[in-house]
Amino acid sequence: MDHARVLAQVHDLVKDHIGRGRVADYIPALSRVDPGRFGLALATCDGEVHGVGDWRTPFSVQSVSKVFTLALVLARDGDTIWRRVGREPSGNPFNSLVQLEYENGIPRNPFVNAGALVVTDRLLTLTGDSSGELRSFLREASGNPAVDVDTEVAASEEAHSHRNAALAHFMAGYGNIDNPVQDLLHHYVRQCSLTMNCADLALAAGFLARHGLLADGSRLISRSEAKRINAVMLTCGTYDEAGEFAYRVGLPGKSGVGGGILAVIPGRCTLCVWSPGLDAKGNSVAGVAALDAFTSLTGWSVF
Ligand code: GLU
C-alpha cells in the first residue's frame, strides 16, 4: 500500500471536521490548545512510520497513557490485576463515581479513571515510581528520548483533581488502593500529562500490533495479553461511545481528552491521530472521522 497517499487522502476527507467540537477545558492548561490542529501517523510492524499534518507536534496524551500502564502491569504481574478491576464497558462517563458504590469499589474497566487509578496503584507498588517507569518505557519504545511530562499540565491537573481524588479515596475505603492517595494521584497525573506526538505514540504501541513483541523482537507481554488489551480497547477504549467507535472504525482504540486516539490493526500497524476538538463524549471529532475514513479506504479493520 502507498501509505503516504492513503494518509493524504484521509486528511483531505476530514478537512471539514477539523476544528469542530470543543477542546477539553476542565483541566485549564489543556484549554489553550489550538482546535485547528490535526495529525495522523501510521507505524508498520517493522517500525516504518508515515504521517500527515501535525504528526510531529507533541500533545498531551491524557488517557491514551492508560493502555501503556495496563501493559506494564500485565508484563510484571500477569493476570492478578483482574481481581481488582473489571473488563466491561461502563456505560457511564469516564470519571463517574456512581457505579463504584454499588459495585463495591471495583471499577468496571481499566480505561475509566477509577480503573486506571487501580492499575497505577499496582504499578506504583511494583516499581516504586509508576510515572518514571512509564516515561522510560515510552522513551525506549518510541525511540524518542525527549518524551517527558508537561509540568504545567501536570500542575494544572493536580490542582483540579477533586474527582479523581474522590474516586481514589472511595476505592481506598473498599481496600482497593494500596498506596497513599496523594502519591497515587501524583503519579497518575504525571502519566496523563506526558507529551508525545502521533509518531511517538504509534511506535510505542507497536507491541499491540506485534502480538506482544517489542520492536527488537523481545517479548513485553504474552500473545494472549496483547489480544486482551486490544479487546478491552475495542469495548471500553473510547469512553461512553465505544459502541459507536467500533461501528464506525472497527478497530481497538484508546482516546484521551487531549484529542489523541491510538488505534491498533493487529498484525499490520498502529495508527495515532490527534485533533483537539472533542465530541460530547470526549472523543476527537476529526480523529474518529479520520480513523473511519482510513478503515473505509483500506478495508483494514478487525471485522
Ligand atoms: N487526566 C485526565 C483525567 O483524569 C484524563 C482524562 C482522559 O483523557 O480521559 O481526568
Mean pLDDT (the chain) is: 96
How far apart, in whole angstroms, are the C-alpha atoms of residue 234 and residue 86? 15
C-alpha span between 300 and 114 (Å, rounded):
32
Q: Is residue 266 part of a domain?
A: yes
> Ligand 1 centroid to 267 CA: how many Å?
29
Q: Is residue 13 part of a domain?
A: yes
Q: What spacing in Å lies between the alpha carbon of 164 and ligand 1's midpoint?
A: 9
Q: Assess if residue 135 is contained within a domain.
A: yes
Nearest CA to ligand 1 atom 4: 113
* Residue 71: predicted pLDDT: 98
Cβ–Cβ < 8 Å for 202, 148: no
The answer to whether position 115 is within a domain reads: yes
* Whole-number pLDDT of residue 302: 94
pLDDT of residue 301: 94
Q: Is residue 303 part of a domain?
A: no
Q: Tell me, what's the pLDDT at 14?
A: 98
State the pTM of this model. 0.97
Q: How far is the CA of 217 from the centre of ligand 1 (A)?
A: 32
How many domains in the chain? 1
Atom of ligand 1 nearest to the CA of 62: 8
Looking at residue 179, its pLDDT comes to 98
Which residue is listed with cell 499490520? 268
Give the residues surrounding ligand 1 with Cβ less than 6 Å away: 62-63, 94-95, 113, 157, 164, 192, 256-257
Contact assessment for residue 127 and residue 136, using Cβ atoms and an 8 Å cutoff: no
Residue in 162, 257, 262, 283 to alter for ligand 1 test, most ligand atoms within 8 A of Cβ: 257
According to the model, what pLDDT value does residue 86 have?
A: 97
CA dihedral of 255, 120, 100, 164, whole degrees rounded to 10 = -70
Strand partners, 195: 60, 148
d(CA 110, ligand 1 centre) in Å: 13
Phi, psi for residue 53 in degrees, rounded to 5: 70, -140
> What is the CATH number for 107?
3.40.710.10
Q: Specify the DSSP element, H or E, that contains 49.
A: strand 49-53
Distance, CA of 107 to CA of 120 (rounded, Å)? 13
Provide the residue range defining the domain that includes 120: 3-298
* Assigned domain for 131 exists: yes
Q: What are the tens digits of pLDDT across the range 81-124? A: 999 999 999 888 778 888 898 899 999 999 999 999 999 999 99
Residue 261 domain-assigned (yes or no): yes
Q: What is the pLDDT of residues 42-90, one digit of tens each?
A: 999 999 999 999 999 999 999 999 999 999 999 999 999 999 999 999 8
Which stretches of the chain score pLDDT less than 50? none
